[in-house]
Structure 1
């Protein structure tokens, strides 16, 4: 059960799930979820690089981990993102039952990381706390910020979309560069290798992808201060084709990055740019492609939604 819950709470599962929501179900809920997920995961990576805290099995040989994890432990990303993603869905549905399910999933995913030996109780509590703060902030400030955003001219909205993410990305890169093998005990690296990893991850690549996607996604909202309208998918077949079409486009930037990695060491700024293109495609290119390919349902077009819905 712990393995299943942990897998459900992984970044890849959340990303695909929220893309399906955005493209096929509710652009408003999907936009909220994608923005908050990228913000949460990127801040989590930054916090881990600052805290440089070990995972339980790195310091206690008696713990047999249920997974090999190379990132630092504080705070728990699974716990943090679970609160954010499931909380956004409950917020969008606006029902007590949805909030109950969100609480159960967040608690279960957090517990799974403790059961697998990859997070301490304190790290999980910290993740839940940060996730709750982000969710509460989004619920309180999304609508006022969206109104404030729409008052600016296009060039200013583009700057507001890209610059904050780029600055935080630069801060993350600096935090990663300050780390070295002397920053933490060699026993941590040995524990990671025994579990099948290559040593504690000190790169900023994961955060670069998140900050880049967030910058591109918000930039895609800038021209109209809203995504292009998405009409109903018109059945599961059109919905599935939308998802396949949308996700397939991600293969190009991924392939470019893999080629770059094979030719040289990973280059975080390049990953930021490629991820920004993926975010821009998500919010702007994919809906246009759906229309061109006839992947529309022919029903009434959904209202153009802003990040606040």
Structure 2
């Protein structure tokens, strides 16, 4: 408790009076982001708490709309496709962000300046096999013999507009159904590393298990996958009342690159550390809290 009080009192108090909960979806990256945001806002005078108990993107978004959550980190592709009902992504990271920001503004939801990290879908293969097969892009994968075109994917990905059906059409994969294994998200990483069920596994680009398991991500050279750039979202009314929130979050957003998120996520998913501890340690290392 003494450490927390020292940390809060060490910063400015421009957010005094700001209360509420910072939400998250139910996976490590979101837990870390929720705690980073909570600790940083509190260091500037707020009195907010992290709520990492909700399950499912739709429930978290609904909690923001219903004012249960003060704010949370969202992904541009998720909002564009899932919440705004679009079936095709906007090409280009900046262009996608602008489109989402404008669409959500009509619903009273603000997006602050996003972080550089992009937690989009990707396909990875163990690095030794990537070198053996000579593949660097998804177009390279499509040129492989059918016997080498083996994939591990999630059940949800198998039916999404931005998932397997569209991907196979975009790149011309001709792998038979018997070459595609349906696995749980966490299992895909280890299965891909072992190479027994598949050569290529569906992964999320900021996942810390990619470098930890020595996997190589295939370049999406036709830009099929939507951009899933991360940005803090909150009600326009909240931002209007506390405009300094944008300045405070702006201190942390530029530092959250894909590589940084991979390292932070690995501390939780690979090393078993607590997300709050990871968040606090990183903020202190960056000099953002005392």
Q: Report the TM-score when normalising by structure 1.
A: 0.25
Higher helix proportion (structure 1 or 2): 1
Which protein has the bigger strand share? 2
Greater length-normalized contact order (CA 8 Å, ≥ 6 residues apart): 2
